[in-house]
Amino acid sequence: MAPVLIPPIKIGHIDDVQELTKVRPTTVPERYVRNMAERPTVPTFSSPSQSLDIPVIDLSKLVQGGDDEAARRELMKLAASCEEWGFFQVINHGIDKDLLERIEKVATDFFMLPLEEKQKYPMAPGTIQGYGHAFVFSEDQKLDWCNMLALGVEPHYIRNPKLWPTNPAKFSETLEMYSTKVRKLCQTLLRFIAMTLGLNQDTFNDMFGVSVQAVRMNYYPPCSRPDLVLGLSPHSDGSALTVLQQGLGSSVGLQILKDNTWVPVQPVTNALVINIGDTMEVLTNGKYKSVEHRAVTHKEKDRLSIVTFYAPSYEIELGPLPELVDDNHPCLYRTYYHGEYNRHYVTNKLQGKKKTLEFAKIQTTKISTNLRSHSSVLTTPPIRFLCENMTYW
């Protein structure tokens, strides 16, 4: 195969926000100051969004299963969460509290290391693994008030072992254990999500093949002007499912866009936040929503989130499931390889949901119910999507 030529990306000087808050706690450099339209409104208690909470799903009720009335009700709640919110919190998810605490500890310990130590795992410009700022492609792009450590986890060929911290000593071992448990949780959730759609419960797990799993740890230091900056730009996730753990005692920072209002996600003790990603929106032909979300900062408190992205293998061909397309539900998305979508996602800045899903939207005015008519849109042969030189997970 001909080598892929990637033009050099100039991202300019980036202040490390953690260092900045230590040395000049009241300074917010211009590159972090958002344009008026993007600035977050600091919520007031009279704001209606305060009374909205995302649904909470008790997984133990689903797992008990059978014809149990409680299980049926929980399954309906899950369906409504995916359709109306695209987000829910899951309790009794089967991951030990102790493991949640351990992953939080190694993540916190990593971010508290001296800068020189963290810079041993640098995120190269235009890539998304390592420590630094992801999704920055130009010198004038506004920056998120956040430090990230992002790592490809599974399958092994997406890993860059040089970027896995050896300090704290237990980092890799804990991340492996955590990722195994989160993967099982995703597979369980996908079984129940398939059931809510009237599909065979193995539909997604069978289709995804050797699924791709990546982890991003986000650390948001306090910011003296939370009204001017964003912790993380608005975006939807490219994954099928995302599992997000909010640090204990972290500020309330995650917000989701519901009916044009940013709704804060109030942490629930020991719960994990789950969201539907773009891939699931495509597979369900838009029935289940990949919802735009962002993170905001806090004046005094810091925030940690540990985010797992669970997606199909790159060589898997995706499009709306035929069972979810009919005369009343015309096919909204074309067919593509997941690797193509991933490349599109990681080579563009975060800019809301519209841009990423536009990739898959059928652009014709005449929308067909015939899936086959769209297969001609496939632009590349089913090549193996390797991560060498590329910015894939």
Binding site for ligand AKG (CB under 6 A): 216, 218, 232, 237, 244, 253-254, 293, 295, 305, 307
> Out of ligand AKG, Fe ion, none, which partner does residue 75 contact, by CB within 5 to 8 A per kind?
none
Closest by CA to 57, choosing from 43, 42, 76, 34, is 76
> Out of ligand AKG, Fe ion, none, which partner does residue 147 contact, by CB within 5 to 8 A per kind?
none
Looking at the Cβ atoms of 234 and 320, the one nearer to Fe ion is 234
> Out of ligand AKG, Fe ion, none, which partner does residue 356 contact, by CB within 5 to 8 A per kind?
none
> Out of ligand AKG, Fe ion, none, which partner does residue 133 contact, by CB within 5 to 8 A per kind?
none
Maximum pairwise Cα distance, the chain = 61
Q: Name the minimum Å distance from CB 246 to Fe ion.
A: 12
Closest by CA to 360, choosing from 274, 257, 283, is 283
Cis peptide before 7 (omega within 30 of 0): no
DSSP strands (E only) in 265-388: 272-276, 293-295, 303-311, 317-318, 336-337
User: Counting every residue, how long is the chain?
Assistant: 393
CA atoms within a 13 Å half-sphere pointing along the CA-CB vector of 226: 19
Looking at the Cβ atoms of 254 and 325, the one nearer to ligand AKG is 254
Query: For residues 75 and 81, what is the distance between their CA atoms, to the nearest angstrom?
Result: 10
Query: For residues 283 and 318, what is the distance between their CA atoms, to the nearest angstrom?
Result: 7
Q: Name the minimum Å distance from CB 182 to ligand AKG.
A: 14
Looking at the Cβ atoms of 78 and 107, the one nearer to ligand AKG is 107
Per-residue binder mask for Fe ion (CB under 5 A), 220-259, x = binder: -----------------x----------------------
Looking at the Cβ atoms of 130 and 320, the one nearer to ligand AKG is 130
346 with 359: CB under 8 angstroms? no
Q: What's phi and psi for 62, nearest 5 deg?
A: -75, -40
Q: Name the minimum Å distance from CB 293 to ligand AKG.
A: 5
Looking at the Cβ atoms of 251 and 285, the one nearer to ligand AKG is 251
> Out of Fe ion, ligand AKG, none, which partner does residue 305 contact, by CB within 5 to 8 A per kind?
ligand AKG
Burial profile 352-383: b = 16 or more Cβ within 10 angstroms, e = fewer: ebeebbebbebeeeeeeeebeebeeeeeeeee
- Torsional class of 271: left (φ above 0), alpha (ψ -120 to 50), beta (otherwise): beta
Query: For residues 340 and 383, what is the distance between their CA atoms, to the nearest angstrom?
Result: 10
Q: What's phi and psi for 215, nearest 5 deg?
A: -125, 135
148 with 163: CB under 8 angstroms? no
Q: Name the minimum Å distance from CB 134 to ligand AKG.
A: 9
Is residue 292 a contact residue for Fe ion (CB under 5 A)? no
Looking at the Cβ atoms of 293 and 298, the one nearer to ligand AKG is 293
Is residue 278 a contact residue for Fe ion (CB under 5 A)? no
How many residues contact Fe ion, by CB under 5 A?
Answer: 1
Q: Name the minimum Å distance from CB 241 to ligand AKG.
A: 12
Is residue 281 a contact residue for Fe ion (CB under 5 A)? no
Closest by CA to 333, choosing from 373, 301, 378, 285, is 285
Looking at the Cβ atoms of 244 and 325, the one nearer to ligand AKG is 244
Q: Name the minimum Å distance from CB 67 to Fe ion.
A: 36
Looking at the Cβ atoms of 235 and 374, the one nearer to Fe ion is 235
Q: Name the minimum Å distance from CB 384 to ligand AKG.
A: 26
> Out of Fe ion, ligand AKG, none, which partner does residue 271 contact, by CB within 5 to 8 A per kind?
none
Q: Name the minimum Å distance from CB 83 to Fe ion.
A: 19
- Binding site residues, Fe ion, CB under 5 A: 237
